[in-house]
Amino acid sequence: MIAEYVIVWEFRVKQEKLDEFVEKYGPEGNWARFFRGSKGYIRTELVRDVSDHLRFLTLDVWKTEEEFSEFRERNLAEYKRLDREFEGLTERETRLGAFWFSKG
């Protein structure tokens, strides 16, 4: 069985910032490009709630928890900078947790 480490965030997006949020947080956005600097990063998924169009989840998929932690630690200044830069796009941001996604 193969498992991947997935970090899940929930966002409540400001209506007037919707397009910009999707651009920055999507699979080709700033966060995904930043994460691609790590060999342990696999992909980012952005999913939108079907009944609440301002509610989104991001799923950042990594090979292991250790690879994510090491990347974040090595790049903490840039991680915090991006977080501050984009905080105005949302009303609320909640880390829902980290999960193992099992395949096979």
CATH code of the domain covering residue 93: 3.30.70.100
Domain that holds residue 42: 2-103
Check whether 104 has a pLDDT greater than 70: no
Number of structural domains in the chain: 1
Q: What residue spans of the chain are helical by DSSP H?
A: 18-25, 30-35, 65-74, 76-86
pLDDT digits 0-9 by tens, 27-60: 999 999 999 999 999 999 999 999 999 999 999 9
Residue type, 8: V
